Amino acid sequence: MNSKLISRAQLKPLQRQLAVWRQTARPRQAIPEPLWQAAAALAQRWGVSPVSRSLRLNYAALKRRTLTRVPASAGPPKPPAFVELAWPLGSTAAPGRLVWEHPLGGKMILEWTGTDAVPLLALAQTFWHRQP
């Protein structure tokens, strides 16, 4: 990557923060983690070499932090694999509606009006344990 392609507007705030830190830091004091994290985020977008040169950071240290970061393109976190619906056995469920979408395909919509909760739970178990 060419360092001329780095957005100066994105680098400027971090350059200022690092300059302030460098003026007040004791010799050999470690750079604070939030500054490393901000630099790693920039390096993921613009490249480790140009960012390390522009911010005067150790290339190897920045690369290590960039590799351990979760990529921004990874998307939102995965939904939980298990959700417990706790109804006391034998109780009457209040009127309601549930919509379930199976990760392997399929959609189930449950609507009820004051019924026994046990059949609803059995129906849900059948839906989640079915083979695609």
Q: Which among 73, 90, 118 is the end of a domain?
A: 73
Indicate whether 64 and 11 sit together in one domain: yes
CA dihedral 50, 55, 58, 59 (to 10 degrees): -10
Q: Which among 73, 96, 121 is the end of a domain?
A: 73
- In this prediction, residue 1 carries a pLDDT of 45
What total number of domains does the chain contain? 2
Indicate whether 58 and 111 sit together in one domain: no
Indicate whether 23 and 66 sit together in one domain: yes
56-63 own/partner pairs: CB under 8 Å, 24+ apart: 56/18, 57/18, 57/31, 61/36, 62/36
- In this prediction, residue 52 carries a pLDDT of 92
- In this prediction, residue 51 carries a pLDDT of 92
| 108 three-state secondary structure | strand
- Domain around 98: 78-132
- In this prediction, residue 2 carries a pLDDT of 47
Model pTM? 0.49
Indicate whether 44 and 84 sit together in one domain: no
- In this prediction, residue 62 carries a pLDDT of 93
Indicate whether 9 and 62 sit together in one domain: yes
How many CB atoms lie under 10 A from the CB of residue 7? Answer: 10
Indicate whether 98 and 119 sit together in one domain: yes
Indicate whether 45 and 101 sit together in one domain: no
Q: Which among 73, 104, 122 is the end of a domain?
A: 73
Indicate whether 38 and 87 sit together in one domain: no
Per-residue pLDDT in tens (0 to 9) along the chain, 132 residues: 444 456 777 788 899 999 998 998 888 899 999 899 999 988 888 889 999 999 999 999 999 988 875 555 555 666 666 555 555 555 566 677 777 777 777 777 777 676 665 666 677 777 666 655
| 58 three-state secondary structure | coil
The answer to whether the Cα torsion of 119, 90, 95, 104 is positive or negative is negative
Indicate whether 67 and 82 sit together in one domain: no
